[in-house]
């Protein structure tokens, strides 16, 4: 059980770390760069990103990390006496709520609203400003949540290693 538990935690840590870096990139400079462009260009680029990101590599990391998080959390709960089990559960909750729930309940609906407006439309300027104002805080939250999930999984691995 320990080898499987450790592997799941490691995969959850790596996936959370990858996504934390992705979200950080958007929060730190991608969206700022797109916001400096005229609305039709920035929104068009973001619409393209939102379509292009749906690919096997991203989806594997995004959903695979969720599966590893859930499986590790279940094993952690079943083996609550193992050192680090609480950190695993914390990491899983941070990833599942802070990444998955926020993405599907907040960022994706905003992306869908943006996709419904043609970049050349006169309405795009207002839509783009509203999109940036709404989308960015949710992305900041995903960045923080996935970073903290990564840290929680890493701490769990250290605690499990120290107990061996």
Distances (CA, A) of 28 to 94, 102, 121, 143, 151: 21, 19, 28, 10, 20
The total domain count for the chain is 1
pLDDT in tens, 38-71: 999 999 999 999 999 999 999 999 999 999 999 9
pLDDT at position 13 over 60:
yes
* Dist. CA 133–CA 52, nearest whole Å: 22
Average pLDDT over the chain reads 96
> What is the pTM (predicted TM-score) of this model?
0.94
The boundaries of the domain holding residue 121 are 2-163
pLDDT of residue 161: 82
CB 91 within 8 A of CB 153: yes
- Report how many helices (DSSP H) and strands (DSSP E) the chain contains, helices first: 8, 0
Residue 43: both structure tokens together: 């929104």
């Amino acid at each position: 059980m320990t080898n499987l538990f450790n592997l799941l935690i490691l995969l959850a840590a790596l996936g959370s770390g990858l996504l934390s870096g992705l979200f950080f990139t958007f929060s730190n400079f991608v969206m700022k760069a797109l916001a400096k462009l005229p609305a039709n260009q920035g929104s068009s680029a973001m619409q393209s990103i939102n379509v292009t990101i749906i690919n096997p590599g991203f989806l594997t990391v995004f959903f695979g990390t969720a599966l590893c998080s859930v499986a590790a959390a279940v094993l952690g709960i079943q083996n609550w006496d193992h050192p680090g089990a609480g950190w695993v559960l914390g990491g899983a909750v941070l990833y599942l709520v802070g990444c998955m729930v926020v993405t599907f309940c907040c960022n994706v609906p905003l992306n869908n609203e943006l996709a419904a407006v043609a970049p050349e439309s006169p309405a795009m300027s207002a839509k783009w400003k509203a999109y940036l104002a709404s989308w960015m805080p949710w992305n900041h939250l995903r960045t923080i949540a996935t970073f903290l999930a990564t840290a929680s999984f890493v701490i769990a691995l250290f605690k499990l290693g120290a107990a061996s």
